[in-house]
Structure 1
Amino acid sequence: MTAAPAIPSWIEDITMAELEADPHPFYERLRREAPVAFVPALGLHIISTRELCMEISRDSANWPAIISPAGSRTFGDGAILNANGPEHRELRDMVEPHLQPSAVDTYIDDLVRPTAQRMVAAIEDDGKAEIVSAYCEPLAVRALGDMMGLPDVSEDKLREWFHKLSGSFTNAAVDENGEFANPEGFVPGDEAKAEIQEILDPKIDRWIVEPDDSAISHWLHDGMPAGQTRSRDVIYPNLYVFLLGAMQEPGHAMATTLAGLFTKPEQLERVIDDPNLIPRAVGEGMRWVAPIWSAAVKLTTEEVTVGGVTLPAHTPVMLTYGSANNDEHEYDAPTDFDMDRPVVPNLTFGGGVHACAGTYFANNLIRIGLEELLETIPNIERDDTHDVDFWGWGFRGAQALHVTWEV
């Protein structure tokens, strides 16, 4: 058997802390020198270019989806991210009806706009805010929480669940034996899941006998034989996926779009004057800093050569969509925000059969949130006495975005 090539020291020495702080320099070098590379800190092969990420994501037959080890530890068995073939189709049929564009159009405005107006009104006389925690995150979690059937769970609690699950999902560092380097990092996520089940179990008991129009109620009943509902073993792993990826990421993307527009004041002014430009700005914001930066993992079904590297059968590879969205071969000056750049489809929401089911919902949530914010506070500016601190390797967004405006 041919020995595996030695891992270059610059790859071997990378740490999780460096990836969380700023993955861009590392992935820029990967795209240039090693677009398919084993990264010991993660215990996975990393795919970093847009071309290869798109090629693999579209070929579900030869590249089935799996969950990263940390993701499997977080969600447990039965999550949609780990399903393929008929099992995946059944789970998509469970979650998609509420998220189809024709369905979303019937409820999204009534779901999001009154909450956005209330939250903007609460801060508009203050003249300043840390807009991530004051508006973007609370609006995102409230909208999805209400849609899912959790109107009585506070925004603070929903945000807490997200952050605990996010910390667990991205606790991916492994030691030289391939074991988790920080097993205690999963404890907060376990605490969140226990609390979620404690709150949700009585609701599920009620929805089984008294269905309503909440998403989880539909998950229980839609497509099931008369008198039967889906088990909690199906509901909970996929609920954790939604509470993590779907609940908070629109908030991150909203803040990222604002941060990007602040780097181009003339583009911000155009968006304020013409709200029809908001979707274009949002698309660029999510390309510029993908809110789900690294999450999708695929598995080789047989020995395959990809990007000049031969991988044995059953090798897991991680598609880094945040890196793909900053590929210099596809985008000019990719680390710059520019909503006027030629539109090249990005991979923010994934690709192929495992593309995000909530794409349309998320884009419209962000659009409405920015419409209300910029209409009410059109003179919003970044507070340049504070840095914009982006953080995260698995999920990436502004930790804080301080803004000011004249009252």
Structure 2
Amino acid sequence: MTEDPLRDPHFFADPYPTYERLRQDCPVRRIPTGSGGHPAYLITGHPEAREAFTDPRLSKDTARFFAGRPSNRDLHPAIARNMLASDPPAHTRHRRVATPLFTTGRVRELRPFITRVVDDLMAAWRPGSEVDLVADLAVPLPVTVVCELLGVPESDRAALAGWSRDLFDATDTERVDAASHRIGDHLTHLVDTARAAPGEGPLHSLVRDCDEGGLDRDETVSLAALLLIAGHETTTHFIGNAVLALLRHPEAFDRLRRDPDLVPGALDELLRFDSPVSVATFRHSTQDLRVGGVDIPAGFPVLIAPGAANRDPAAFPGPDRLDLDRDAGGHLSFGHGIHRCPGAPLARAEAEIALRALVTRFPDVRAAVPPDSLTWRRTRLTRGLAALPLAL
């Protein structure tokens, strides 16, 4: 294989045929990549992905991998070095601060606020009209919630959301780097302001928690940036992908219309069927290891693909079928092991409340354009729609 299969234009529109072909050939295989010319190992099988997610020989410390290697990238330090790009003990310190923000009790407290945000957004929707599910619900809902959680002023939220979207652009590294600096610089200003004028707002609370947890100023900014970016980008795609999957499977949509109480139980299958995280963030081998019968030498990038693993027939028979009765709890859309997404409970709550409101208020909703004409974001890391026009 001489070309990166994850950069083919067809991959962005529908990665699953590519994943199936690669997995059938070998669930762990070496591929060329466009990231600095480094070959990488891609993991597409479900048992192999679970194993790799928990193998301590696969490091997430990107600075360690790229040290001494030539690079033309210019990411802001808050984006380049964060909890997702670290190993214990640094990762443990960050996670100890982040996890309490997303406990079951904390998310339960946020549910009335999430409901109000959904109500406010849908108040402008009128039967007989068209809306863009992405722009009119899937983007503003998680952006509003995570910015409320962090205490980001309302006047800053639209700009931060736009920079976050730019950060996932797989086709323009200069745009990605510039967005990282805009986010990092802006959050540095907010953190410095909160530290200079102590108060009782959410960001003041986060700063105190970071101080008590042993995080310095730069680490506090990096954690705030990660919570902001991860807290809305993937949830946006979760909601958009779920609604599109239901529109393409009207029998499943009809079940939720008839009984909206089935929505919470449908979330795992919707996450499995079209994962908002297609390829997990960067890992590299620090020692020689063997995964799925394949030898991976030390010093190589390793890409774990939850989007592929979730369609592995060895784990989920008939994986290309959306089946709301399936036990899909073993999906890997939130990762696995110590790096499993701490914000999963919040993402599930937002998607549940949004989907329940949609099927209750607009039971006759349909796609306003042919599904084949939809445009997907050009990023291999996440999978999400640029827009999803709906006829109410």
TM-score by length of 2: 0.87
Indicate if the aligned counterparts of 2:289 and 2:297 stay in contact, CA closer than 8 A: yes
Following TM superposition, by how much is the alpha carbon of 1:32 offset from its aligned partner in structure 2, in angstroms?
0.8
Cross-structure match for 1:124: 126
Indicate if the aligned counterparts of 2:187 and 2:224 stay in contact, CA closer than 8 A: no
Cross-structure match for 1:57: 53
The alpha-carbon distance between structure 1 residues 73 and 21, as it changes in their structure 2 partners (threshold 3 A), is farther
Cross-structure match for 1:305: 290
Indicate if the aligned counterparts of 1:75 and 1:237 stay in contact, CA closer than 8 A: no
Following TM superposition, by how much is the alpha carbon of 1:75 offset from its aligned partner in structure 2, in angstroms?
5.7
Whole-angstrom CA distance in 2 between matches of 1:14 and 1:121: 40
Unaligned 5+ residue runs, structure 2? none
Whole-angstrom CA distance in 2 between matches of 1:404 and 1:149: 34
| Secondary structure at the counterpart of residue 281 of structure 1 | helix
Which residue identity does 1:98 align to in structure 2? L
Q: Does 1:45 align with 2:41?
A: yes
Following TM superposition, by how much is the alpha carbon of 1:16 offset from its aligned partner in structure 2, in angstroms?
4.3
Between stretches 283-292 and 353-362, larger displacement belongs to: 283-292
Cross-structure match for 1:165: 167
Q: Does 1:361 align with 2:346?
A: yes
Q: Does 1:32 align with 2:19?
A: no
Picking from 144, 147, 172, the partner of 1:145 is 147
Picking from 246, 263, 284, the partner of 1:261 is 246
Q: Does 1:286 align with 2:274?
A: no
Whole-angstrom CA distance in 1 between matches of 2:193 and 2:346: 26
Whole-angstrom CA distance in 1 between matches of 2:265 and 2:181: 40
Whole-angstrom CA distance in 2 between matches of 1:112 and 1:14: 35
C-alpha root-mean-square deviation of aligned residues, in Å? Answer: 2.6
Following TM superposition, by how much is the alpha carbon of 1:88 offset from its aligned partner in structure 2, in angstroms?
0.9
Which residue identity does 1:212 align to in structure 2? E
| Secondary structure at the counterpart of residue 290 of structure 2 | strand
Whole-angstrom CA distance in 2 between matches of 1:272 and 1:280: 14
| Secondary structure at the counterpart of residue 390 of structure 2 | strand
Over the matched positions of the two proteins, sequence identity in percent amounts to: 23
The alpha-carbon distance between structure 1 residues 80 and 207, as it changes in their structure 2 partners (threshold 3 A), is same
Whole-angstrom CA distance in 2 between matches of 1:274 and 1:130: 25
Following TM superposition, by how much is the alpha carbon of 1:48 offset from its aligned partner in structure 2, in angstroms?
1.0
Indicate if the aligned counterparts of 1:390 and 1:397 stay in contact, CA closer than 8 A: yes
Cross-structure match for 1:80: 83
Whole-angstrom CA distance in 1 between matches of 2:351 and 2:32: 36
| Secondary structure at the counterpart of residue 28 of structure 1 | helix
Following TM superposition, by how much is the alpha carbon of 1:46 offset from its aligned partner in structure 2, in angstroms?
0.7
Whole-angstrom CA distance in 1 between matches of 2:383 and 2:43: 18
| Secondary structure at the counterpart of residue 398 of structure 1 | coil
Picking from 108, 112, 123, the partner of 2:114 is 112
Following TM superposition, by how much is the alpha carbon of 1:360 offset from its aligned partner in structure 2, in angstroms?
0.4
Whole-angstrom CA distance in 1 between matches of 2:42 and 2:228: 26
| Secondary structure at the counterpart of residue 330 of structure 2 | coil
Number of equivalences = 376
Residue deviations 1:98-126, cap 9 Å, x none?
Answer: 111122212x2232111110110112345
The alpha-carbon distance between structure 1 residues 202 and 126, as it changes in their structure 2 partners (threshold 3 A), is farther
